């Protein structure tokens, strides 16, 4: 089952830069930079896409196997969640509505 991804209610803001996106953790006063492949799916993350949709988009954009994209997306989401930059849930985005 694909996890849902959300940034709703988190104390963060972001802006697009020349190299990707810069995410500011307002509560912790720390910023993070994401570029390349992560930046290509950040807009989908902020819209509340589920993990499978992110992997499909990544695979299509970078012309990589979807299995590779799934592993990369899972690692990215886990990394972002550990830093409080996204919230992960169970089920699909369609189930959440």
- In which domain, by residue range, is 71 found? 4-96
Among 1, 35, 3, residue whose Cα is nearest residue 14: 35
How many Cβ atoms are within 10 Å of 58's Cβ, its own excluded?
Answer: 22
Return the structure tokens found at 68: 């590779």
Q: How many domains does the chain have?
A: 1
pLDDT at position 92 is 56
> When comparing pLDDT for 19 and 94, which is higher?
19
Q: Packing angle between helix 36-46 and helix 51-62, nearest 10 degrees?
A: 140
Residue 74: CATH number of its domain: 1.10.10
Beta carbons within 8 Å of 46's beta carbon, 6+ residues apart: 7, 14
pLDDT in tens, 37-96: 999 999 999 999 999 999 999 999 999 999 999 999 999 999 999 999 999 999 755 554
């Amino acid at each position: 089952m694909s996890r849902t991804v959300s940034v709703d209610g988190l104390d963060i803001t972001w802006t697009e830069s020349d190299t990707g996106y810069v995410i500011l953790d307002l509560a912790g006063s720390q910023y993070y930079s994401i570029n390349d492949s992560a930046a290509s799916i950040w807009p989908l993350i902020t819209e509340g896409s589920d993990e499978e949709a992110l992997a499909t988009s990544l695979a299509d954009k970078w012309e990589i196997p979807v299995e590779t994209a799934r592993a990369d997306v899972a690692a990215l989401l886990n990394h972002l969640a550990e830093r409080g930059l996204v919230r992960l849930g169970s089920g699909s985005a369609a189930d959440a509505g």
